[in-house]
Amino acid sequence: MIVLTMAALTLREAARRKVLRALAVMTFVLLGLSAWGFHQMNAEFGGLTSGEARLAASIVLNLVMFGLSLIAALGTAFLAGPTLAGEIESGASLAMLARPVRRSSVLVGKWLGLAVFGCGFVAVAGLAQLLIVWITMDYWPPAPATGLALLAAETTALLTLGLLLSSVISPMASGIVAVGLFGATWIAGVVGWVGHSLNNASVERIGEVSRVLLPTDGLWRGAMNAFQDPTLLMSLGPGMKGHPFMSDASVTWTYLAWTTLWVALVLGLAGLAFRRRDL
Amino acid sequence: MSAAPSAEEVLADLPPTAAVWCSGLRKRYRKRTAVDDVSFTVGRGEVLGLLGPNGAGKTTVIKMLLGLVRPDAGEVLLLGRPSRDPRSRAKVGYLPELFRYQPWLTAAEVLDLHVRLAGASVPAAERRECLALVGLADRTGDRVGGFSKGMQQRLGLAVALVARPEFVVLDEPTSALDPIGRADVRDLLLSLRSRGVAVLLNSHLIGEVERVCDRVVILDNGKIAAEGTLTELLGQRELRLRLDKVDDAASARLAATGTLTRDGDLFTVALPADPDSGTVPDLVADLVELGVRVHAVEPGRISLEERLLDILRTGTEEHR
């Protein structure tokens, strides 16, 4: 009951704060630019073979989807900070937590609200992007639902980390650190790709280790795989493993299980930190 | 043969537990001891004032009672339940010293939220009445973000009162209010007391405390410096006399009545809480007999402010 009340409150906060408007503006700009870009690509490169067109559409779609996932990450990380740390800092949590509620219920409620918000954003904006590509380039990804679900899972993982951080540090710092770690994991993935290209196993391992520590990059790679044309890698060969905007493999069930466990562990840690915190 | 009473009947026959019972509360922040061995009780329907200088640990004590700060040691029972159990706070209303409410909600929505969190069922009309009681009747649909500090504190009072509490904790409830608002709070406290709601009031406005509180706990440096009913704390009366031609014998006679202080020709004698009806006339007669010229005799009562300052200064000297 308290969990649902808090989830509804968090959703209402997301809807009424300026962050939603900022998210909407950024998304519209990105979708608008991509629509224009895809349209131009189709018009100016009319001479492309169908294979080349699919390749271009796949890569650019992944690029734009990365932009969307970044917006979702920024949005939820900067919502997760104020909703917990901000309320503790301002004193707004005092009156609420003096009610007959468990702090863990409050935390899970906020997490649920943020997760619904983040996943809703990914679903709506992602679907809009897929439709844009379909209309302008006549390209429809092989597994759109899986791709969007993995993007939503990526957002959820990051917001869970944001909540953990905001239970111990200040609101702004928690947002910055969460987004910083998200970026660092992505870069580590790219470094891994460079290592693979250079046949350097230890550099390649950097990407793999970072994908275990923070599953956002691993989920992102799974999502890319679901969006891109399956014939692409066959034509480009194995050198593409770890490419920042192409993925050679779909996500394994083991990795999904680890991600679920990771989210549960981080949320549990956040609960522990929040419960012990003096207000 | 009558049947043995059931457990429920036995419990129902017991006298109601205190609104708050706390024992041996202790809290350290790094090297600084904020609260040290604090124990007190607030009875049902009692208004207890918590007094003390800045940094005495009043707000920390309040937060420990409400489970917002974890005590290093000590126990708290809130309306008969250990404070570890969130249900102990079901009938508790709280206005924090740092009163902030979600700026993106309207006043009515803040109240709705708190009613839901308290698990209470309060009809919409009663919620509106609660806002009207604190003077926010015409601002129910306005966002809290646009409220002045005083209005936010009024909203905080409504939040503390909305879920039909049996125990209300008010931490500096008038810090942002104008004189009319302060008078309103005083009336509110008196009406709570008349309805049998227990109140813990932390306020710097001693006059406010003196008017509404049944008992007072004075904290200093995290410890209880004094506690008691107002009669116990202020029971000490004094007698102010303007005299001349006071010799040693007359001084001795004055000192025999109570602690004597002298400022020029003004003599102040502390009297016991319940002085004998003959104490003052006997003293005056004896003084006249000793050749003292008596210009004025007036009884006085020590105010809570004087008593508080006295306790705190003595306490400070002891600490040195």
Best to test chain B binding among A12, A87, A94 (most B CBs inside 10 Å): A94
At A23, is the pLDDT very low, low, confident or very high (cuts 50, 70, 90)? confident
Q: How far apart are CA A22 and CA A197, in angstroms?
A: 39
- What 8-state DSSP symbol labels residue B137? G
Q: How far apart are CA B103 and CA A249, in angstroms?
A: 47
pLDDT tops 90 at residue B201: yes
What value does the mean pLDDT take over residues A220-236? 76
- Ranges for all domains in chain B classified under CATH 3.30.70: 236-301
pLDDT in tens, B23-34: 999 999 888 889
Taking an 8 Å cut-off on Cβ atoms, the answer to whether B69 and A279 are in contact is yes
- Ranges for all domains in chain B classified under CATH 3.40.50.300: 16-232
Best to test chain B binding among A9, A84, A99, A106 (most B CBs inside 10 Å): A99
How many pairs of residues across A and B have Cβ atoms under 8 Å apart? 73
Cα A245–Cα A125–Cα A39 angle in degrees, nearest 5: 65
pLDDT tops 80 at residue A231: no
Q: Answer whether A224's CB lies under 8 Å from A232's CB.
A: no
- Taking the CA atoms of B65, B67, B73 and B77 in sequence, report the sign of the dihedral they define: positive
What's the pLDDT at B318? 43
Q: Answer whether B182's CB lies under 8 Å from B153's CB.
A: no
Closest CA to B288 of B241, B237, B255: B241
pLDDT in tens, A80-117: 877 888 888 888 899 999 999 999 999 999 999 999 99
What's the pLDDT at B14? 62
pTM of structure: 0.83
The shortest C-alpha distance from A6 to chain B (Å) reads 9
Cα B12–Cα B67–Cα B36 angle in degrees, nearest 5: 105
SS3 state of residue B135: coil
Q: Which two tokens stand for residue B19?
A: 């609104």
Where along chain A do its domains lie?
Answer: 2-276
What's the pLDDT at B317? 41
What's the pLDDT at B319? 39
Strand duo B20-29 + B32-42: pairing: antiparallel
Answer yes or no: is the ipTM higher than 0.85. Answer: no
pLDDT tops 60 at residue A241: no
At A237, is the pLDDT very low, low, confident or very high (cuts 50, 70, 90)? low
At A67, is the pLDDT very low, low, confident or very high (cuts 50, 70, 90)? confident
Taking an 8 Å cut-off on Cβ atoms, the answer to whether A95 and B96 are in contact is yes
Q: Answer whether A167's CB lies under 8 Å from A104's CB.
A: no
Cα B27–Cα B229–Cα B159 angle in degrees, nearest 5: 60
Q: How far apart are CA B160 and CA B198, in angstroms?
A: 13
Best to test chain A binding among B68, B164, B167 (most A CBs inside 10 Å): B68
| B-chain residues near A94 (CB < 8 A) | 63, 68, 94, 96, 98, 100
Taking an 8 Å cut-off on Cβ atoms, the answer to whether B117 and A99 are in contact is yes
pLDDT tops 60 at residue A239: no
The shortest C-alpha distance from B202 to chain A (Å) reads 16
Closest CA to B33 of B195, B222, B175, B216: B222
Question: Considering only the top CATH level, what class is B16-232?
Answer: alpha beta
At A71, is the pLDDT very low, low, confident or very high (cuts 50, 70, 90)? confident
Q: Answer whether A96's CB lies under 8 Å from A258's CB.
A: no
CB-nearest partner of B119 from A100, A102, A279: A100
Taking an 8 Å cut-off on Cβ atoms, the answer to whether B113 and A279 are in contact is no
**Which CATH number applies to B236-301: 3.40.50, 3.30.70, 1.10.530, 2.40.10?**
3.30.70
Q: Is B176 on the interface with A (CB under 8 A)?
A: no
Taking an 8 Å cut-off on Cβ atoms, the answer to whether B89 and A99 are in contact is yes
Q: How far apart are CA A248 and CA A232, in angstroms?
A: 9
pLDDT in tens, B84-121: 889 999 999 999 998 999 999 999 999 999 999 999 88
Residue with more model confidence, B235 or B311:
B311
Beta-ladder partners of B199:
B47, B168
Q: How far apart are CA A30 and CA A36, in angstroms?
A: 10
| B-chain residues near A1 (CB < 8 A) | 119
pLDDT in tens, A186-199: 888 888 878 877 88
- Would you mind telling me the total number of residues written for chain B in this entry? 320
pLDDT in tens, B241-290: 999 888 888 888 888 888 888 888 888 888 776 667 788 888 899 999 98
What's the pLDDT at A110? 93
Q: Is B30 on the interface with A (CB under 8 A)?
A: no
Q: Is B73 on the interface with A (CB under 8 A)?
A: no
